[in-house]
Structure 1
Amino acid sequence: MWQKGLFITAAIAVGSLFSAAGVPAGWLFGALLAGIFTGLFIKRFTFEGWPFQAALALVGVNIGFLMDTELFAVLPAYIMPLIVTLSITLMMGLVFGMLMYRWTSLDVKTAFFCCVPGGASEVISVSRDYGADDRIVAAFHTARITFFVFLIPLSAAVFYPEAASGGTPADTGVWNPFIGFPMLLFIVVLVIILNKYVKIPGGALLYALIFGFIIGNWIVPGFAPPGYAAGVGQALIGAMVGIRFDRETLVRVKSIGLPSLGILQCFLLLSLLLAGLFTLMTPLPYITSLLSTVPAGAAEMSSTAFALQLEPTLVSALHIIRVIVLFLLLPFLVKWIDRMILKNEG
C-alpha cells in the first residue's frame, strides 16, 4: 500500500511540475509519463474499482461546476453531427476488428472487442463474458488510450499554441477550504457509492458532473474549487492510465504483431478525419472537435479538454452520450458477430 501511495505522490508531483512549466495539460501529461515509466521499468500497480472512480469523480465534479443551463440549449445542435460521426466510428470499428482478425491469430471476438471504439473499462469488463480474451483486449485498449492521451496534448502544443497555453483555469468564484474540501470528499464518496449500486456506462463521471452542476448552479452558486484540485484529479487519471502500460501490456501488444500498430494508425487517421467532419457540421474548432469525437475514453478526453480549457462540459456530455449509445448497441453488434461466425463455419 505504501508503494502505491509513494507512486501517486510522485506522479502528482511530476504533473504539478509539468503544469508549472507550462506544458499543455501538464497535470495529466506529466503524471501519464510518470505512470508509463513506473509500469515499464519499476513495477505495475492496479487501481481498478474505487480508486479510479474517485479520480473520475474529482475531475467530473470540477467540470460540473463549470456547467450552466446554456449547455442544454446548445447540446441538441450537436446531436446530429454526433450521430453521424458515431455511426462512422462504429462501422469502422467493425472493419478494423475484421482486419485484425484476418491479419492476426486472434479469434474473431477478441479482435472485435479490441476495436470497439470507446468505453474501454466497460468493454474490457464485459469482453470475457462474451468469450473474448480480456487480457489481449485490455492490452490493446490500454495502448490505444495511452497513445491518444500522449498525442493530443502534444498536437495541441504544436498546432494550437493559443489553446495549449491556457493551462488549468484560474481560481475564480466562491471557495472556502473548510467547507469546500469536505464537500468535495463527500461528493466523491457519494459518487462511488451510487456507481456501485446503480451502474451505467460512464456512471462515475456522469454522476460527478450532475452533482457538480447542481451544487454550482443552485446550492452554492459560483462555487469553484481551486485550479490545483482539478489538476490533482487529472494527475490521478494520468497516473492510473499510464501505469497500465507496463511490460506485460507491451508484450501482449507485440504478440499481436505489426497489425496492432497498423490498427492504431487506422484509429488515428479515422479520428483526424472524423474531427474534420465534426468541425464542418458544427461551430467548434478542430482541436475541440477532435477531443469530442476521438475514441479514447470519456474521462481522459474530458480531463484533457478541461486542462486545455476547450469546452470540457460539452466534450464530457458528448462522450457520455457516445459511451451510453455504444453499450446499448453492443449486444446487437455481438449478435451480428455471432452470425458472421456461424456463416463462415457453415
Structure 2
Amino acid sequence: MSDRYPLKHLAAPFAGLLGGWLASLIHLPLPWMTGSLLAVILVRCSGWLITELPGGRRVGQWLVASAIGLHFTAPVLEQVLGHLWLILLGSLGTCLLSVLGIAILRRNGVDRATAFFSSMPGGASEMVVFALRHGADPARVAAAHSLRLLLVVLTIPAIFIWTLPANAPPTLVQPDWGWLLILMPLGLLAALIWRRLGQPNPWMLGPLLCCAAASAIFDLNIALPAAGSAIGQWLIGSALGCHFDRKFFRSAPAFLLRVLLFAVTAMLAAAAGAWLLGRFTEMEVAGLTLGLMPGGITELSLTAEALHLSVALVTALQVARLLLVMFFAEPVFRLWQRRAPELDASQ
C-alpha cells in the first residue's frame, strides 16, 4: 500500500479510537491512551503495519501539555518552589539509577555508548540523536526507550489507580474559553520556538511552560475540557503503538530482556526512594513515586491527575530529570570516554 494512500495514516487513529472506547467501557486506567496503544500494537502484530497519523502525536502532546500546565496556579507554584531542593535531589537520584542499567548491559557485551544512552532516563528521540553522535547503535537505543515507555504506560497507571484510593476530588474547574483561545495558540507558538531552538521535547515542554507561566502569573483557575485531554491521550497512544510490531519483539531478545530487568529494578528503586523522601518530608508518597518513576511526563502526570494528586509536583520532578539528562548526559559520557577509553587493540 502506498504511503500516500490516506487509509494507511487513518487506520492507526481509527484503531486507537476503537481501542480507547473499548478500554473506557471496561474502565481501564487512562483508557484513551492505554486502549489506543494496545489496539494499534495488536493490529501491527497481526501483520498490517499501519503508520501513525502525521503530526498526530504532536497535537496530542500539545493538548495534554496545555492541560497539565494549567495546574500550575500561583499557590501550587509556590509550593513547588518551596520544595525545589527535593525536586533536584529526587531527579538526580533517578538519573544515578542509570549506572545500574549501564552495568547490566556492559556485563553482557553491549558497547559503552549503546549501554550509556539506552540507560539514560531521557526522551527517546533525543537519546537516539546523542547515540548517533557517539557511535552507538541507534536501533537498540530506540528499542530500549520504547520498551521502557511501554512498560510504564501499561503498568504504572494501572497499579496506582487500581490499588490507591483517590484523594477527594478538587472543586470542579470550568474552562474559560476567553483564556483558552489565547493560551492554546500561544502554547503552539512556544512549541515551534522551543523546537527551533533545538530544545528537548518541544511539543510537551513548550505548551506546558507557556500555560504554567500564564496560570501562575495571572492566578488563573481554569482547565481544558475533559474531551481535550481524552483526544490528546488518544492521539499519543495511537502514535506510540506504531513503534511496535512482531519484528520489534523478536529483535535482540536478550538485549530487550536486560533492558526490561533494569526498568523494573529502577521502578522499584524509585518507589523505595519516594518512600524514604516521604518519611523525611511528610509529602505524599504516591506523588513522589510518580515523579521519580523512569517514565514519561505525559503518562505519569495524567495518572497524578486521575488520582487527584499534585500534578505540578509530579510534572516538576519529571521535567527536572529530563533537563538534567539533556544537559549533562553528553558531557558525562565524554568524561567517561576520556577516563576509561576503549581498549580495542587488546580485545
TM range (shorter): 0.7 to 0.9
Deviations 1:236-268 (A, max 9, x none): 222222332322321235152643332233223
2:110 is the counterpart of 1:111: no
Distance 1:171 1:20 in 2: 24
Distance 1:217 1:96, change over 3 A: closer
The one-letter amino acid of 1:63's match is I
Correspondent of 1:130 among 131, 134, 152: 134
**319-328 or 281-290, which moves further after superposition?**
281-290
Name the residue aligned to 2:328. 329
2:252 is the counterpart of 1:248: no
TM-aligned CA deviation for residue 151 of structure 1:
0.5
Distance 2:64 2:285 in 1: 23
TM-aligned CA deviation for residue 210 of structure 1:
2.8
Distance 1:242 1:312, change over 3 A: farther
Residues 183 and 210, structure 2, Cα contact 8 Å, conserved in 1: no
Distance 1:46 1:173 in 2: 32
Distance 1:26 1:98, change over 3 A: same
Residues 29 and 153, structure 1, Cα contact 8 Å, conserved in 2: no
Distance 1:292 1:121 in 2: 21
The one-letter amino acid of 1:142's match is S
* Alignment TM-score, normalising by the size of structure 2: 0.85
The one-letter amino acid of 2:89's match is V
Distance 1:89 1:29, change over 3 A: same
Question: Which runs of 5 or more residues in structure 1 are unaligned?
Answer: none
* Alignment TM-score, normalising by the size of structure 1: 0.85
Name the residue aligned to 1:27. 32
2:141 is the counterpart of 1:142: no
Distance 1:180 1:249, change over 3 A: farther
Name the residue aligned to 2:68. 63
Distance 1:234 1:258, change over 3 A: closer
| Superposition map of 1:1-346 within 5 A | 1-19=6-24, 21-41=26-46, 42-46=48-52, 50-103=55-108, 105-162=109-166, 172-176=173-177, 186-187=185-186, 189-214=188-213, 216=215, 221-256=220-255, 258-342=257-341
The one-letter amino acid of 2:249's match is L
Residues 139 and 253, structure 1, Cα contact 8 Å, conserved in 2: no
TM-aligned CA deviation for residue 47 of structure 1:
6.2
TM-aligned CA deviation for residue 116 of structure 1:
0.7
Distance 1:324 1:151 in 2: 25
TM-aligned CA deviation for residue 137 of structure 1:
0.4
The one-letter amino acid of 1:173's match is Q
Distance 1:88 1:110 in 2: 21
Residues 275 and 294, structure 1, Cα contact 8 Å, conserved in 2: no
The one-letter amino acid of 1:126's match is F
**207-216 or 315-324, which moves further after superposition?**
207-216
Residues 53 and 192, structure 1, Cα contact 8 Å, conserved in 2: no
TM-aligned CA deviation for residue 11 of structure 1:
1.2
The one-letter amino acid of 2:141's match is V
Residues 52 and 238, structure 2, Cα contact 8 Å, conserved in 1: no
Distance 2:272 2:254 in 1: 29
Q: CA RMSD in A?
A: 3.0
Distance 2:229 2:195 in 1: 23
Question: Which runs of 5 or more residues in structure 2 are unaligned?
Answer: 1-5
